[in-house]
A and B are shown apart, each in its own frame.
Chain A
Amino acid sequence: LAKTTQPISMDSYEGQEVNITCSHNNIATNDYITWYQQFPSQGPRFIIQGYKTKVTNEVASLFIPADRKSSTLSLPRVSLSDTAVYYCLVGDSSASKIIFGSGTRLSIRP
């Protein structure tokens, strides 16, 4: 299982774009990259998943460079409600389990 490295914490302000980068140098060919959001006392919520280049959905974009050794979660125009812990995970469909890293604690200020 590829190990991931993320910043422990980040701060930003309402209305700003926030980019959280995750390093996964040992990502395997079949691995997908998945990001989750977790609020206190709740289970993680799926945000976005991708394999290469760029993926966009209604809440975020995921940028993956050609070498796939890192990925960046982009949250456009954040609000106070985006304050949460964000986890980056990598794995493939045959992976028997997902191991969580420490995640990034994002704090949004007015």
Chain B
Amino acid sequence: GAVVSQHPSWVICKSGTSVKIECRSLDFQATTMFWYRQFPKQSLMLMATSNEGSKATYEQGVEKDKFLINHASLTLSTLTVTSAHPEDSSFYICSARDGGAQETQYFGPGTRLLVL
């Protein structure tokens, strides 16, 4: 199946700093990528839809100025958590749609963010 990677796999940062997470589709081109956040024992919550070459679409309640998304190419989307605070600590997961007839979504391995 299609492979999606994320980097870094985990990051620890001080409160007030910014953190960038990369999401790459390794063997297919993805015009659309998605960013999710998952808290312990909960389901995935969609944060935003990232479209190549255009602005991301954010879900209600997600601050676009705090969670900056850039989809610079058909294989790369980045999520930057700006001025991170402890409440931003979470598991961030990206996914990419393969563009086939069924447009299956494939997920990255996730990035664990801990803000101290």
User: How far is the CB of B77 from the nearest CB of chain A, in Å?
Assistant: 14
Known interface pairs A41-B110, A96-B49, A96-B57; A49-B104 also in contact (CB < 8 Å): yes
User: How far is the CB of A47 from the nearest CB of chain B, in Å?
Assistant: 10
Contact, CB under 8 Å: B102 / A44: no
Q: Does B107 reach chain A (CB closer than 8 Å)?
A: yes
Residues A58-97 near B (CB distance < 8 A): 87, 93, 95-97
Q: Does B93 reach chain A (CB closer than 8 Å)?
A: yes
The docked-state distance in angstroms from the alpha carbon of A96 to that of B93 is: 17
Q: Which residues of A contact B103 (CB under 8 A)?
A: 93, 95
Contact with A along B46-82 (1 / 0, CB 8 A): 1001000000010000000000000000000000000
Interface residues on B, range: 20 to 34
The docked-state distance in angstroms from the alpha carbon of A101 to that of B102 is: 20
Residues A40-56 near B (CB distance < 8 A): 41-46, 49
User: How far is the CB of A28 from the nearest CB of chain B, in Å?
Assistant: 14
Q: Which residues of B contact A99 (CB under 8 A)?
A: 46
Q: Does B112 reach chain A (CB closer than 8 Å)?
A: yes
Known interface pairs A42-B110, A46-B1, A93-B101; A100-B44 also in contact (CB < 8 Å): yes
Q: Which residues of B contact A41 (CB under 8 A)?
A: 91, 110, 112
Q: Does A10 reach chain B (CB closer than 8 Å)?
A: no
Contact, CB under 8 Å: A103 / B110: no
The docked-state distance in angstroms from the alpha carbon of A102 to that of B43 is: 5
Interface centre among A36, A98, A101 (most CB of B within 10 A): A98
